[in-house]
Structure 1
Amino acid sequence: MELSVIIVSYNVKHFLEQCLLSVFNALDGIEAEVIVVDNASGDGSCEMVRERFKPVKLIENTTNVGFSRANNQAITKAAGEFILLLNPDTVVQEDTFAMCLSFMRNHPDAGGLTVKMIDGKGKFLPESKRGFPSPVTAFFKIFGFASLFPRSKTFAWYYLGHLDKNSTHEIEVLPGAFMFLRAKALREVGLLDEQFFMYGEDIDLSYRILKGGYKNYYYPECQIIHYKGESTKKGSLNYVLVFYRAMILFTRKHINSRGAGLLVGIINLAIYFRAFLSLLHRLAKRLWLPLLDLALIIAGVVLLVPWWEQQRFQMQHVYPREYAGFLLSLYVAVWMLSLWLGGAYDRPRKTHAPTRSIVLGTLAILVIYSMLPAGMRFSRAIILITGAWSLATTQLVRYLMVWISPSSFATSLAAKRIAVLGNSNEVERVSKILNLTGISYKLVVSLTPDKLTGDNGYLNHERLAELVRVNGVNEIIFCTQGISMGAIVDAMLYLSPQGISYKIATHEGSSIIGSNSVEDQGELYTLDFKALGSPSVKRAKRLFDLFSAAAVIITWPVNVFFIRKPFRVMVEALSVLVGLKTWVGYGAASPEALSALPKIKPSVFPYIPVKYREKNSTRELNLYYARNYSVSLDLQILIRNLYRGING
Structure 2
Amino acid sequence: FMMMPKKILDEVGDFDEQFFMYGEDVDLSYRIQKAGYKNYYFADSTIIHFKGESTKRGSLNYVRMFYKAMSLFVKKHYSGTKAGIYIFFIQAAILMRALFSAIGHLLKKIGLPVLDAIIILTSLWLTKFFWSNYIKGETNYSPNVILIAFPVFTAIFLLAAYYTGLYDKGYKQSQLVRSTLVAALIILSTYALLPESVRFSRGILVLGIALSYILMNIMRRLFIKWQYLETIPKDYERQQTIVVAGEKDYKAITSLMQQAGMPEKVLGRIESGLTQTGPSLGKINQLPSLVKKYSVNEIIFCENGLSFKEIINIVKTLPTGIYSKFHSAGSSSIVGSNSSKEKGDYVAVGNNYNIANPVQRRNKRLLDILLSMFFIIGFPVFIFLQKKITKFYKNVFDVLFAKKTWVGYAAMPNSFPALKTPVLTSTSLPSQLNELPVEALLKSDEWYATGYSVLTDLKKINRGFKFLCY
Change (3 A) 1:407 1:226: farther
Residues 130-158 of structure 1 show CA distances to partners (whole Å, capped at 9, x for unaligned) of: xxxxxxxxxxxxxxxxxxxxxxxxxxxxx
CA distance in 2, matches of 1:366, 1:436: 39
Matched, 1:292 2:115: yes
Matched, 1:428 2:254: yes
Which SS does the other structure have where 2:269 is aligned?
A: strand
Matched, 1:301 2:301: no
Deviation at 1:269, TM superposition (A): 4.2
**2:208 matched to which residue of 1?**
386
Matched, 1:463 2:289: no
Deviation at 1:219, TM superposition (A): 5.3
**2:380 matched to which residue of 1?**
557
Deviation at 1:490, TM superposition (A): 2.1
Counterpart of 2:203, as a letter, is: A
**1:267 matched to which residue of 2?**
90
Which structure 2 residues correspond to residues 244-643 of structure 1 after superposition, within 5 A? Answer: 244-255=67-78, 257=80, 260-261=83-84, 263-316=86-139, 318-398=140-220, 408-410=230-232, 412=234, 416-422=239-245, 423=247, 424-429=250-255, 431-432=257-258, 435-436=261-262, 443=266, 446-451=269-274, 463-495=286-318, 498=320, 500-527=322-349, 528-590=351-413, 593=414, 596-608=415-427, 617-642=440-465
Contact 1:228 1:522 in 2 (8 A): yes
Which structure 2 residues correspond to residues 148-163 of structure 1 after superposition, within 5 A? Answer: none
Residue 224 of structure 1, aligned match among 47, 53, 64: 47
Which structure 2 residues correspond to residues 110-125 of structure 1 after superposition, within 5 A? Answer: none
Which structure 2 residues correspond to residues 99-114 of structure 1 after superposition, within 5 A? Answer: none
Deviation at 1:330, TM superposition (A): 0.7
Contact 1:228 1:521 in 2 (8 A): yes
Deviation at 1:181, TM superposition (A): 5.2
Which SS does the other structure have where 2:312 is aligned?
A: helix
Deviation at 1:256, TM superposition (A): 6.2
Deviation at 1:332, TM superposition (A): 0.7
Deviates more, 1:348-357 or 1:398-407: 398-407
CA distance in 2, matches of 1:425, 1:508: 12
CA distance in 2, matches of 1:315, 1:451: 80
CA distance in 1, matches of 2:226, 2:244: 28
Counterpart of 1:428, as a letter, is: T
Deviation at 1:443, TM superposition (A): 4.9
CA distance in 1, matches of 2:373, 2:209: 29
What is the percentage of aligned positions where both structures have the same residue? Answer: 34
Counterpart of 1:363, as a letter, is: L
Aligned Cα RMSD in Å? Answer: 3.5
Which SS does the other structure have where 2:206 is aligned?
A: helix
Deviation at 1:287, TM superposition (A): 3.1
Which SS does the other structure have where 2:19 is aligned?
A: coil
Gaps of 5+ in 2: 277-281, 430-434
Contact 2:164 2:359 in 1 (8 A): yes
Contact 2:273 2:283 in 1 (8 A): no
Residues 584-630 of structure 1 show CA distances to partners (whole Å, capped at 9, x for unaligned) of: 1111423xx2xx332222111110169x9579522222233222221
Contact 1:430 1:505 in 2 (8 A): no
User: Which has the larger helix fraction?
Assistant: 2
Gaps of 5+ in 1: 1-177, 454-458
CA distance in 1, matches of 2:265, 2:467: 49
**1:234 matched to which residue of 2?**
57
Change (3 A) 1:302 1:511: farther
Counterpart of 2:196, as a letter, is: A
Which SS does the other structure have where 2:342 is aligned?
A: coil
CA distance in 1, matches of 2:284, 2:368: 55
Change (3 A) 1:564 1:256: closer
CA distance in 2, matches of 1:448, 1:390: 52
Contact 1:296 1:390 in 2 (8 A): yes
CA distance in 2, matches of 1:615, 1:362: 47
Counterpart of 2:335, as a letter, is: I
Which SS does the other structure have where 2:346 is aligned?
A: strand
Deviation at 1:206, TM superposition (A): 1.9
Change (3 A) 1:412 1:378: same
CA distance in 1, matches of 2:443, 2:228: 36
Which SS does the other structure have where 1:583 is aligned?
A: strand
**1:111 matched to which residue of 2?**
none
Residues 198-227 of structure 1 show CA distances to partners (whole Å, capped at 9, x for unaligned) of: 311211122223333445454567643222
CA distance in 2, matches of 1:291, 1:646: 39
Change (3 A) 1:569 1:410: farther
Deviation at 1:638, TM superposition (A): 0.5
CA distance in 2, matches of 1:465, 1:479: 17
Contact 1:402 1:412 in 2 (8 A): no
Change (3 A) 1:292 1:506: farther
CA distance in 1, matches of 2:52, 2:384: 57
Deviation at 1:549, TM superposition (A): 1.8
Contact 1:475 1:503 in 2 (8 A): yes
Residues 408-427 of structure 1 show CA distances to partners (whole Å, capped at 9, x for unaligned) of: 33463566443332344145
Residues 217-238 of structure 1 show CA distances to partners (whole Å, capped at 9, x for unaligned) of: 5456764322235322122222
CA distance in 2, matches of 1:191, 1:354: 54
Matched, 1:208 2:208: no
Counterpart of 1:605, as a letter, is: L
Change (3 A) 1:579 1:276: closer
Which structure 2 residues correspond to residues 129-208 of structure 1 after superposition, within 5 A? Answer: 178-180=1-3, 182-208=5-31
Counterpart of 2:462, as a letter, is: I
Deviation at 1:451, TM superposition (A): 5.0
**2:279 matched to which residue of 1?**
none
CA distance in 2, matches of 1:640, 1:499: 49
Counterpart of 2:254, as a letter, is: E
Deviation at 1:335, TM superposition (A): 0.3
Deviation at 1:639, TM superposition (A): 0.9
CA distance in 1, matches of 2:438, 2:342: 42
Deviation at 1:400, TM superposition (A): 6.0
CA distance in 1, matches of 2:227, 2:243: 23
Residues 24-72 of structure 1 show CA distances to partners (whole Å, capped at 9, x for unaligned) of: xxxxxxxxxxxxxxxxxxxxxxxxxxxxxxxxxxxxxxxxxxxxxxxxx
